[in-house]
Amino acid sequence: MTDRYGRTIDYLRVSVTDRCNFRCVYCMPPEGVEALSHEQVIRYEELLHIIRLFAELGIRHIRLTGGEPTVRRGIVSLMKEVHDLPGIESVSMTTNGLLLPQMLPDLIDAGLDAVNISIDTLKPERFDEITRTQGNLPTVLQAIRMASDAGLNTKVNCVAMRGVNDDELADIAALAKDLPIAVRFIEYMPIGKHDYEQAIYMDEIINLLRSSFGELREDTSPHGHGPARYFKPEGFRGSVGVISAMSHRFCEDCNRVRMTSEGFLKLCLQYNVGVNVLDALRAGATDEELKGLILKTMDKKPQHHTFLDYAEEQDIDTRDMSCIGG
């Protein structure tokens, strides 16, 4: 499946729920967000139906996200059914890690190929402040080690934020010194707002890492299907990456689309452009009609985002990240 710019789209990120057991500061406001009703959220049988159609159109890689995907009942069964769909080559998950220690064996048995675990600080008090929870840092660190020890392709996602965690990026990177994992620093993206003051861009992150670890050798070994640029400091078992969505946008190679927990096919993280596939399915559209709708919508995928040259007249998605899906 290709878009009008010739990009091959083979990666679908699926939000299975809008609910989360964390309340991270960059993901939702302090008061939280109003949860979707049960009827608004896509049912598993509907989700599998739609993913099957995407697979027939050329999607090969599925990432289950949220909200927090592990809080949705039946996620292990869903993992297995998605993994077993014809055409699907890999199924991964992005999680905050809180429930992962107890669920990991079952998820692996169900076909989990890779996991991304979010952690933005190694300081307990700061972790509580960022996630607006209490005392959960040890569990998340345990989840990272368990996933790595189980042989999963394990990545740690850290949103680099000036004045929040910029004083410990080297310490977070050092998680990859003794573990064969990839620690990735994600440039802060002002989803739902236009505040760039907290952003730390790739060049600054790389310079900071060099000052701590010396020369960084570029790591070109396979790391999955995403856009991160990876480096291997001397003496590290794992690698360190940067996702430079803001300063060095990689839109020309974008291979992904998203589907929200309401069934909305979202073509670009920044824009409202897309279509609600679930509404069409519930209205009685045939499989061929649904595939036609998906292909027609794919031609509307923007050439690139404009976070750094935002214009008021653009159809910008102003919702918080928790509402869009990770």
Contacts of 155 (CB under 8 A, 6+ apart): 114, 115, 116, 117, 181, 182, 183, 184, 223, 224, 241
CATH code: domain of residue 173:
3.20.20.70
| In-domain check, residue 293 | yes
6 falls within a domain: no
Do the beta carbons of residue 91 and residue 82 sit within 8 Å?
Answer: yes
4 lies in some domain: no
Average pLDDT of span 176-183:
97
Q: How far apart are CA 292 and CA 294, in angstroms?
A: 5
Residue 15 lies in a domain: yes
**DSSP per-residue codes, 88-99:** --EEEEEE-STT
Task: For residue 2, tell me if it sits in a domain.
Answer: no
Residue 5 lies in a domain: no
Helices (H), the chain: 44-57, 75-83, 100-110, 124-131, 137-149, 169-173, 175-178, 202-213, 277-282, 287-298, 321-324
Phi and psi torsions of 302, nearest 5°: -60, 155
Q: pLDDT at residue 146 above 90?
A: yes
Q: Is residue 3 part of a domain?
A: no
State yes or no: pLDDT of 120 exceeds 80. yes
Give the model's pLDDT for residue 250: 74
Q: Please give the average per-residue pLDDT across 306-318, as a whole number.
A: 55
How many domains does the chain divide into?
A: 1
Element at 233 (helix H, strand E):
strand 229-233
Average pLDDT estimate for 288-309: 87
Using the predicted structure, report yes or no on whether residue 195 has a pLDDT greater than 50.
Answer: yes
Kindly list the distances between the CA atom of residue 255 and the CA atoms of 14, 59, 313, in Å, as whole numbers in the listed order. 14, 10, 26
Mean predicted confidence (pLDDT) in 23-38: 84
Arithmetic mean of pLDDT, 295-321: 69
Quick one: pLDDT at residue 188?
85
Q: Which residue has the higher pLDDT, 238 or 273?
A: 238
Domain that holds residue 181: 11-324
Local confidence band at 313 (pLDDT 50, 70, 90 cut-offs)? very low
Domain annotation covers residue 153 = yes
pTM comes to 0.91
